[in-house]
Amino acid sequence: MKLETHAWPGSYGERAKPRIGFFTDTSVCIGCKACEVACKEWNQIPMSMQGFTGKSYDNTVALGADTWRHVAFIEQKLPARVTDGASLVDAVARGQAIDGGIQTYQEGDGFRWLMASDVCKHCTEAACLEVCPTGALFRTEFGTVVVQQDVCNGCGYCVSACPFGVIDRREDDGRVWKCTLCYDRLKDDMEPACADACPTNSIQFGELETLRERAEHRLAHLRRAGNGNAQLYLADDDDGVGGGGAFFLLLDEPEVYGLPPDPVDSRRALGSIWAAAGAAAVALGAGLAAAVFGGRK
């Protein structure tokens, strides 16, 4: 399995480390938010609670400058009877669950939670890093992407470049902030705070190649158990960002979790765009020249 990142590990030489990251298995996330709390405590991140939003029990809503970990709560109502569209097997199982007291506020509907702890993806092709004019964003020896706040000038180019809406500016100082994958802890051979605090091992940390192999086995197990919609997200080197240093096992489509279904590095097509613009400019110049000199005749 080929795992590479731009200007890494070659730029570090002998100091380069195996690429590390997160594998988040959402099937065992219980929504406890221990990862959110641990992240804030270790990194001393300001409070970002949005209060009651009407969106289930989610009080942080989205990733941002003051929210480096965000646990999404998605409520799903499932057809509980054959007349609602459920299969015979599903109707029996969900009917038993409803009889046991598991139901929504709408009588007769089955119900399940989808919970997922979201974080910066530490992309292989990281648009935020590529557009930064000051070098404030850099690739670490572990293959992760980190912001140096003392170099950031608050231009915001990285904010619009990120296909996931992860990186954000802090209102009080204008600089950008995001998950560092606990770079300070990594340098001391410590596990990131969020993974260390996760009680169900939903957030798994380690060498990326090992995590991907583990994720494939877990995906196969869930599909054999009947979870046909289960899928890996950002675990493919051939996707629009070259795969993520943080990837996920989802139980439904990415859009359900608020994730883009086909994220693409915003600079990936830059060469072809400039080539097309250049060709158009040449064609326009030729047309103008023909009009001017042709008119003189």
**Averaged over 106-117, what is the pLDDT?**
72
User: What tens digit of pLDDT does each residue of 144-200 get?
Assistant: 999 999 999 999 999 999 999 999 999 888 999 999 999 999 999 999 999 999 999
Checking if the pLDDT of 104 tops 50, the result is no
Task: Tell whether 60 is covered by a domain.
Answer: yes
CA distance 28 to 26: 5
* Domain that includes residue 281, residue range: 272-297
283 and 158 in a common domain: no
Select the more confidently predicted residue: 7 or 257. 257
Report the Cα–Cα distance between both ends of the chain, in Å, rounded: 65
208 and 120 in a common domain: yes
Select the more confidently predicted residue: 101 or 142. 142
278 and 167 in a common domain: no
User: What tens digit of pLDDT does each residue of 205-253 get?
Assistant: 999 999 999 999 999 999 998 888 899 999 999 999 999 999 999 999 9
Give how many domains the chain has, as a whole number: 2
pLDDT at 269: 57
Q: Identify residue 197 by its one-letter amino acid code.
A: A
DSSP per residue over 217-279, as a string? HHHHHHHHTT-TT-EEES--TTSTTS-BSEEEEESS-GGGGT--SS---TTTTHHHHHHHHHH
Give strand ranges (E) for the chain. 20-25, 70-79, 109-118, 137-139, 145-147, 168-169, 176-177, 203-207, 231-233, 246-250
pLDDT at 105: 39
Percent of the chain with pLDDT over 70: 77
User: What tens digit of pLDDT does each residue of 47-84 get?
Assistant: 887 777 776 778 888 999 999 999 999 888 766 666 66
Checking if the pLDDT of 102 tops 60, the result is no
CATH number at residue 208: 3.30.70.20
Task: Tell whether 184 is covered by a domain.
Answer: yes
pLDDT at 51: 73
57 and 135 in a common domain: yes
Show the tokens assigned to 286: 């030729």
Task: Tell whether 125 is covered by a domain.
Answer: yes
- Tokens 């065992």 belong to 28
- Tokens 């003392």 belong to 150
Task: Tell whether 1 is covered by a domain.
Answer: no
